[in-house]
Amino acid sequence: MRDPTSFLRNEYGDLVAAELDWKLRVLGGPSSPWSMIDGKKTLMFCSNNYLGLSNHPALKEAALEAIRTHGAGSGSVRPIAGNMDVHMELERRLAQFKKAEASLVYQSGFATNSGLIPQLVGEGDLVVSDELNHGSIIDGVRLSRAERAVYKHADAADLERVLEEAEHHSPAYRRILIITDGVFSMDGDIAPLDKIAALGTRHGAMVYVDDAHGEGVLGEGGRGIVSHFHLSRDEVQVEMGTFSKAFGVVGGHISGSRDLVNFAYNKSRTWLLSGSHPPAVAAACLAAVEVLEREPEHVRRLWEHTRRFKKAMSDLGFDIGRSETPITPVIVGESPLARRLSQRLFELGVFALPIVFPMVAKDRARIRTIMNAALTEDDVSFAISAFEKAGKELRIL
């Protein structure tokens, strides 16, 4: 009898043979500068925990206190019986931090994009998307049933071409949504959001930015890309983000007008039909927002380390691409070489994973490093030395 699931084993086997499968390592303890990875004390150099907040005392204490006062779980989805005061306070403080009328917290960044995009646009509408946008954006767009157009990566001139062509579409589109990552997670470059916003205004299009990797990194006090470019909420209608990166916890969110938030929590099924965050998670997210306002030194130190590491890697002769942020790719070409470099770094005490096809082009495999404000200068020196040693051994340098 034919096995209807044989494709599972076969396709996984193909990935293993091509060295494109994920090999999971185990974190034994907190995500900290020196972490226990597969039982080995290793320098953490690929975490999204940009500011080291996931192990910050204020976040841990806030989570513990919320468990004492509110229990372990919320008991429901928020529209029914799971809407706690801590959720409401988090959204109030987040909006204040973002200098927006309102904010709404989702269960994850992926749930935000996949749940909101299909409600903003649908049949008869057009989504105009950067060609390197995150997979959660791509999935959200696919769910929308809107027509799709793709513009060249971070190319405002090509975006303008697409928008001008859209003006002559018959019948006319009901709505046009321009959507882009703020910081692109594989290359670390920044979207030209000022130019994108200007084009949106000129062509009457909504602008949606996924700033997952810009929060805590760009802008005044880590407020993100909208702040970085000094843009208004009239120019960028939807600012999306996540608590799982610089904020050090988990969850997605949007900030913008009160109308946007009212619309979203009545229409987004990923928000309406998913259990709300346990009170400990919401309280830890709230504490992270307060830490960013109270302790600006984390963002400052992140950038000091970033500038030093980029210069050192470039001086050594590594290809670090077009990065403008604490995401620094070390591009080596073929996937097997990226895997060998990652393994040798791990042996030398640095944990930095390979990123291979299909997440990047076949000839653009890399080690994606992400800087962390909690590292010391000696830690950064240790990482640089390990890359130099491994690079020479593998004849990358």
**Catalytic residue of the set 74, 108, 185, 276:** 185
Which tokens go with 371? 């800087």
Would residue 245 show up in a list of annotated catalytic residues for this protein? yes
Q: Are 219 and 225 in contact (CB under 8 A)?
A: yes
Q: Following DSSP, what letter does each residue of 14-74 receive, concatenated?
A: HHHHTT-S-----B-S---SEEEETTEEEEE-S-S-TTSGGG-HHHHHHHHHHHHHH-S--
**Catalytic residue of the set 56, 213, 228, 305:** 213
Would residue 311 show up in a list of annotated catalytic residues for this protein? no
How far are the Cα atoms of 163, 175, 184 from residue 209, in angstroms, in the given order? Answer: 17, 17, 11
Which tokens go with 251? 């969850």
Would residue 31 show up in a list of annotated catalytic residues for this protein? no
Helical H runs in the chain? 6-17, 57-70, 85-98, 109-120, 135-144, 156-166, 193-203, 225-228, 258-267, 269-272, 279-294, 297-316, 335-348, 377-393
- The DSSP secondary-structure symbol of 108 reads -
Residue 388 CB neighbours (<10 A):
16
**Catalytic residue of the set 87, 134, 245, 305:** 245
Q: Catalytic site residues? A: 185, 213, 245
